[in-house]
Structure 1
Amino acid sequence: MFVGYVSWGHDLSFTILSLSLFLIYMIVDKRWLLFGFVWAYYLMASRGFLLGVESYYQSLGYAFLAWVSVATLSTLPWALIWSRSFKKRLLLFPFLLIVMIVPPFGFISWVNPLPTIAVLLPSFGFMGITIEVMLIYALALLWRKYTYARYYGIPLISIILILKIYYFPPTVTKNLSIESVQSDIEYFPVTFNKSKEYKTLKTFFYKVQNSQSLNILLPENALGNYSAVQSMLWQDLDKSRTVFAGATIYNAKRSKNINALLEIEHNRSKILYKQRVPVLGEMWKPFINKGTEATLFEQPIVQINGEKAGVFICYEQLLVYPYLQTFFYEPKILIGISNLYWAKDTNIKAIQKETMELWAILFGVPLSFSVNG
């Protein structure tokens, strides 16, 4: 419980504490102990989920049920894959990592400890993840075979971590070629209030016009339900400027929305990126012709100012699968947009930002992050 609370939503350096979750899997000798530890971790780390869902649906009962259900489902693979045999736990550990990355569990389970190795090994990329797994194996074997490791190993590792974080704290490189607009405007992911939507659109337009930058990044759904009518406003955009902004596009053929990042210039606009993993259940409804499209296997890389960019819209910033898929194509910059007005008083914004920063640090790429809320 302590690890889950401290690791996420405070300081980026603290996220490294979540790696103890992997070590706990290796060393505990009772399934119920592992279940209790992991369950408490997910509950405390995702505590903002409870408040955010309550704010969105105005129902504490539904929010509590969703919070506990997601934490329980995220914990199940740990308990089911765990074995009484230490050797089997070692062999099954890579399988556990895979299960927590790919669907279905990988699409509901966030605050994954995997990218936190960036705190120790910045710019190591996939090699850093490999070293992380080897380190967990080494610590587990030392704990198992040598009693003194239990008494001296943990204090020694703690001292090394503290010194590393104090003298060499993790820092993310900001993408200076794009101005990331941060806002606090009351608008929800999808709205049919045209008057309010137009007012929001005008607010963002004035922010762009008052900016000194040539490239501006706006938050998720900043353009609302984008259509030819909304696009007329952007015809007044300075010819020298390019705006990258979130919008909802309706796909009439499939009766679904597309949560997208648009590229807008003076006389044209185009869909640059479609969200790969919308929120399952609320946005992504795979078995009915409603909700938001998921584009799981489409090309995750786009071109921004002549550079390969990996784009992440809101929920997919919290997951592991979209990052691994993206970094396979070696992006040079990361772009993140979110609308978290409904969760503005929770730790969800901090966790999204921390997760994106960890991946940016791990692979040594600059980050642009625009959020409303």
Structure 2
Amino acid sequence: MRRDHFQPALLIAAAIFAGTVGWSGHVLLLPVALTFPILWARAQTRSVAALVSAGYFLAASRGLPQGVATFYSSDLWPGLLLWLCASASFVGVHALLWTKGSGTRPLRYFVAAALMAVPPFGVTGWAHPVTGAGVLFPGWGWWGLAAITAGLMGLVTRMWPAVAIAFAGFWLWSAAFWTDPKLPEGWRGVDLQMGSSLGRDTSMQRHRDLIATVKDRGTGQTIVLPESALGFWTPTVERLWIGALWRTDASVVAGAAVVDADGYDNVLVVLSAAGSEILYRERMPVPGSMWQPWRSWRRETGGARAHFFANPTAAVSNHKVAPLICYEQLVIWPVLQSMLSDPDLIVAVGNGWWTSGTSIVAIQRASATAWAKLFAKPIVLSFNT
């Protein structure tokens, strides 16, 4: 193989490796994703930079085609198409901002990283290398975010070996003394294995089974159930749960859907014997399957609403909570917006039945855990598979 072909092939292969390993669902492997800016910077042409970006992103999101096929009970082709479409913003931004000039490269990479962290490009800003800050700088908070941002800019300069060695040192130190984030006192997350029936089976028996599960977890606690656990939020469901919690001191935080004539909100509801309220409306539902903005452009109804920068925190008893529902654990701005309010804990829920055979739920857990470690926040996790 000629040298001018060998180097691009090596860069693309390395980018695929970084995306695969960094986003394998193991939190301590997240810093492998920091290899990407080095490879992007070493590309000799814009087309190679685009291929490096595509290799990294497609490898990191490799579970999407199978997940979409499972969700829609279809073959792989719709999932493959969505997979490629989702990569367009990441590849386009990094290809457009790539430059041969080493002088402006750090600033250009910073702009690319910033664009992929916030809407509109950040809507599909998965696999962002900045997520590794929670592993490298646990407890550093905003200073840790600043440190990894400066380091990412350093990785695209000629000084990248020194920056990489420094990052490796922080990584080894963190791995040697790593502990998972604490579970907040008085809180308990419940993982379910109810598959696609969760949220779709709206029978009274299903609600009674969930109520029994809550009561089995003990009293005097706040029990967290996964996304969609309550199905459609109706007055009947509300009365059933409040009645079941009568004469108990337990509270329940659970996912539900609030439907109206125009569409629906994916929400978290808090329930106790004293009553209920909608705690949180999802800021970023899954694009395509849930959030379908083209419906409003065509004056059609349906689909989930996106409350992009609304309700970053919510109050549960005496706690300020940062809620993250499913897809919000994969993108950047929801958690950072929540952290601006300095919450007491993070509540991360999901309904990942459709991800069977992929690492998507593991990646969600790893990402949420990394952010909790960066900002030294307790975290409650609750997923259905």
Please report the TM-score for the alignment, with normalisation by the length of structure 1. Answer: 0.90
- Matches of 1:186 and 1:162, distance apart in 2: 36
The change in CA–CA distance for 1:76 and 1:119 in structure 2 (over 3 A counts) is same
Contiguous gaps of at least 5 residues in structure 1:
none
The Cα of 1:330 is off from its aligned counterpart by: 1.0
The Cα of 1:69 is off from its aligned counterpart by: 2.0
The Cα of 1:162 is off from its aligned counterpart by: 6.1
Paired AA for residue 303 in structure 1: A
Q: Which of 47, 51, 65 is equivalent to 2:81?
A: 65
Paired AA for residue 354 in structure 1: A
The answer to whether 1:7 aligns with 2:22 is yes
The Cα of 1:62 is off from its aligned counterpart by: 0.6
- CA distances 1:285-338 after superposition (whole Å, capped 9, x unpaired): 222421111111223111123121100111111110111211111111000111
The change in CA–CA distance for 1:350 and 1:218 in structure 2 (over 3 A counts) is same
User: What CA RMSD, in Å, does the superposition of the two structures yield over aligned residues?
Assistant: 2.1
Paired AA for residue 364 in structure 2: Q
Q: How does 1:1-373 map to 2 (within 5 A)?
A: 1-59=16-74, 60-143=76-159, 149=161, 153=162, 156=165, 160=169, 163-169=172-178, 171-187=180-196, 191=200, 194-195=202-203, 198-213=204-219, 214-234=221-241, 235-237=243-245, 238-252=247-261, 255-286=262-293, 287=296, 288-373=300-385
The change in CA–CA distance for 1:347 and 1:162 in structure 2 (over 3 A counts) is same
The Cα of 1:166 is off from its aligned counterpart by: 4.2
The Cα of 1:370 is off from its aligned counterpart by: 0.4
- Matches of 1:48 and 1:232, distance apart in 2: 39
Paired AA for residue 350 in structure 1: A
- Matches of 1:95 and 1:155, distance apart in 2: 21
- Matches of 2:89 and 2:157, distance apart in 1: 29
- When the two structures are aligned, how many residues end up with a matched partner? 361
Paired AA for residue 83 in structure 1: T
The Cα of 1:163 is off from its aligned counterpart by: 3.3
- Matches of 2:303 and 2:167, distance apart in 1: 47
- CA distances 1:35-72 after superposition (whole Å, capped 9, x unpaired): 22221111111111121111011221111111122123
- Matches of 2:172 and 2:260, distance apart in 1: 53
The change in CA–CA distance for 1:109 and 1:224 in structure 2 (over 3 A counts) is same
| Runs of 4+ that moved beyond 4 A | 153-159
- Matches of 2:38 and 2:147, distance apart in 1: 14
The Cα of 1:210 is off from its aligned counterpart by: 1.5
| SS of residue matched to 1:102 | coil
Q: Is the 8 A contact 2:196 2:353 kept in 1?
A: yes
Paired AA for residue 201 in structure 1: H
Contiguous gaps of at least 5 residues in structure 2:
1-15
- Matches of 1:199 and 1:312, distance apart in 2: 28
The change in CA–CA distance for 1:61 and 1:305 in structure 2 (over 3 A counts) is same
- CA distances 1:76-126 after superposition (whole Å, capped 9, x unpaired): 110111112111212222211221012221001211111212211111111
| SS of residue matched to 1:6 | helix
| SS of residue matched to 2:114 | helix
Per mean C-alpha deviation after superposition, the further-off stretch among 157-166 and 347-356 is 157-166
Please report the TM-score for the alignment, with normalisation by the length of structure 2. Answer: 0.88
| SS of residue matched to 2:191 | coil
